Structure formats: structure tokens, C-alpha cells
């Protein structure tokens, strides 16, 4: 299908960002942990590709989990991530603060601080009482978004979200929402109407991935068309009735959202797939989904150009 005609609506210029990608030098990965094992390199992603959604977890002795967490993950290091996705051609990534650490960004800060310059950005969890100095430090390290998690314990709730948005908007950050788009569409809409850049996780996490005409999905498509929201193509197993990362039932939803506005979609692995028992989550299986979710003519937009505008907009 040809999606080139589906750009941002010109009826809402306040929400629409320029479609041209700002120039940026892509810094390649370095270090032994990022090298493909001999004979195993199989590039799937285009040069400059960015994974916009992954997490890392340290040992609980060094990085304790909060008591009110919804799951307890095993350790998962950034080296392990690059070993899985580096050989497939992934060049950049966005590290998302998981709910199990609450407001403690120690591991996120260390990982961003150790990253090769230009290779990584972050999304933090900001509360109404987070000190300005903490926000400034996170920004210096590469954080460009604040996450509200309405589905798992330990994250920021919807209450007070507007005040958090007001605190980070001046830095050029966005608000990243983990919500059920069918249950909480009004939250996304309110933020977008106030001029805040909004990124919705996991296809909007609808109640029924097969219902592409539900109120929430239709509303999300409308915001995408107006250039007022972004959506992450990630965590298909979280909305699949079978818990499969490659469930073909997600395909109509993916095409529907890509059709709405190919300039407002990004891809994420959701590595290491925490808090869920999922099937078909091998890196090569998830990477190959891009050939099904994104027509070739928009693949570079979704994987390279759009993440650059969203996370490297400074």
C-alpha cells in the first residue's frame, strides 16, 4: 500500500512538527559487547535505526526494586541487549525507566552515562516533587521524555500529569503514556490539546487489538493524522490474545495506525519483555516484523527519521 499521501493534517499546524529530519551524525557502536559474533551478522534494520523502547535491570542488591512493583525481573544488561540487536543492524536505542525502580534512576543514569555519544537517549519517570536538579541532570544525560504508567504499579499515575508536563515541556521533552487507549483516550487527548507532545506505548494497548474501529483506536488515529501524537509499534504480545510477539491478529491495527500518519510512528523491541509471559520474542523474530508492519516506502521513516526528530531534536 502507498502511504505517502497520508501526512500530517494541515488543519492543526500547532500540533504538527516539520517532516524533514534534522541532520545528525550517527555514532556507531563500540566495544566488544556490541560486535556481532563471527558468521552471525544479519542486518535487518536500515543504517541509523533506533529501537525506541527497551529496559535494563541490575542486580537487586545494587539496584533495589520498589516494594509496590507488579513484577520482579531478572537482571538484563545493556551488553546483553546489544548482543541481541547489534548483529541485526540496530545502531541507536532509547532506554525507558521501568516501573520496578519507581523514582530511582540510578541504573538509567549509569547506562546513559556509559553509552557511546549519540547512541542512546532515555525516558524517565518524573513526579510532581522531583527536584529541578534531578530533571536537569537527566536532561544532560540524554533523557527526552517523562513516562506515565497507568497499567503497572510503581509508575506515575494520571493524577497530576499536567503539572509534570508543564515542568518538562520547556526542555523539549514529551510525555510517554502506557495506557489502555480504549479506557483512557481522554487522557491522551487532553495532553495533546494543551500542546504537549504525546507518545503512546504498545499500539495504544487497546482492549481488543482486532477492533480497529473502537473509540480509542479511532481517536488515536485522529490524533496521529493531526500530528498531535506518536505511537510506538512495540509489545505486540501485550495486546495479543495468544501472547505472541508475532501474532498476525495485530497486523490490521499496525497497518491502520501506519496509514494514519507514517510521520508519527516509531518501533520498539520492548526488550527484555518484562512483566509478561510472552511467546515468539527472539530478536530476529521481532526484527522481521518490520517487513510486515511497515511498507518499504516508510520503513526508514519509522526506524530512522522519526526517532531522530523525536529524541534527537536538539
Give catalytic residues, as residue numbers.
Answer: 270
How many CB atoms neighbour CB 60 within 10 A?
13
Q: How far apart are CA 228 and CA 221, in angstroms?
A: 10
What's the number of CA atoms in the CB half-sphere (13 Å) around residue 188?
32
Q: How far apart are CA 10 and CA 13, in angstroms?
A: 6
Q: How far apart are CA 99 and CA 148, in angstroms?
A: 10
Q: How far apart are CA 264 and CA 226, in angstroms?
A: 10
Buried b (16+ CB within 10 A) or exposed e, 114-123: ebeeebbbbb
The residues, any chain, with a CB within 8 Å of residue 192's CB and separated by 6 or more, are: 15, 198, 223, 228, 229
Residue 72 is placed in which grid cell? 520482579
CA 157 from chain centre, in angstroms, equals: 18
Cβ contact 209:250 at 8 Å:
yes
Classify residue 309 by burial, with Cβ atoms within 10 Å: 0-12, 13-18, 19+.
buried
Q: How far apart are CA 163 and CA 190, in angstroms?
A: 13
Residue 133 DSSP code? H
Task: Give the CA distances from residue 141 to residues 30, 63, 229, in Å, rounded to whole numbers and listed in that order.
Answer: 18, 19, 25
Amino acid at each position: 500500500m502507498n502511504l505517502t499521501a497520508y501526512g500530517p493534517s494541515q488543519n492543526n499546524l500547532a500540533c504538527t512538527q516539520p517532516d524533514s529530519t534534522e541532520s545528525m551524525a550517527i555514532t556507531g557502536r563500540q566495544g566488544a559487547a556490541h560486535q556481532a559474533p563471527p558468521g552471525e551478522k544479519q542486518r535487518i534494520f536500515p543504517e541509523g535505526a533506533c529501537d525506541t523502547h527497551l529496559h535494563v535491570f541490575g542486580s537487586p542488591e545494587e539496584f533495589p526494586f520498589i516494594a509496590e512493583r507488579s513484577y520482579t525481573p531478572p537482571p538484563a544488561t545493556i551488553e546483553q541487549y546489544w548482543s541481541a540487536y547489534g548483529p541485526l543492524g540496530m545502531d541507536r536505542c532509547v532506554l525507558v525507566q521501568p516501573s520496578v525502580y519507581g523514582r530511582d534512576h540510578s541504573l538509567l543514569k549509569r547506562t546513559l552515562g556509559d553509552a557511546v555519544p549519540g547512541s542512546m537517549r532515555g525516558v524517565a519517570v518524573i513526579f510532581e516533587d522531583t527536584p529541578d536538579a534531578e530533571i536537569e541532570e537527566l536532561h544532560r544525560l540524554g533523557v527526552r521524555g517523562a513516562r506515565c504508567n497507568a497499567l503497572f504499579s510503581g509508575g506515575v499515575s494520571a493524577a497530576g500529569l499536567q503539572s509534570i508536563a508543564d515542568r518538562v515541556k520547556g526542555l523539549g521533552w514529551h510525555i510517554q503514556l502506557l495506557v489502555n487507549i480504549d479506557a483512557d483516550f481522554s487522557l491522551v487527548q487532553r495532553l495533546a490539546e494543551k500542546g504537549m507532545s504525546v507518545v503512546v506505548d504498545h499500539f495504544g494497548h487497546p482492549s481488543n487489538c482486532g477492533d480497529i474501529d473502537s473509540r480509542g483506536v479511532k481517536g488515536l488515529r485522529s490524533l496521529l493524522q493531526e500530528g498531535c501524537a506518536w505511537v510506538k509499534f512495540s509489545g505486540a504480545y501485550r495486546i495479543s490474545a495468544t501472547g505472541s510477539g508475532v501474532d498476525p491478529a495485530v497486523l490490521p491495527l499496525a497497518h491502520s495506525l501506519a496509514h494514519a500518519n507514517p510521520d508519527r510512528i516509531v518501533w520498539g523491541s520492548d526488550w527484555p519483555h518484562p512483566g509478561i509471559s510472552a511467546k515468539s520474542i527472539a530478536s530476529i523474530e521481532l526484527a522481521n516484523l518490520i517487513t510486515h508492519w511497515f511498507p518499504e516506502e516508510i520503513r526508514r521513516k519509522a526506524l530512522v527519521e522519526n526517532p531522530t526528530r523525536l529524541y534527537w531534536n536538539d
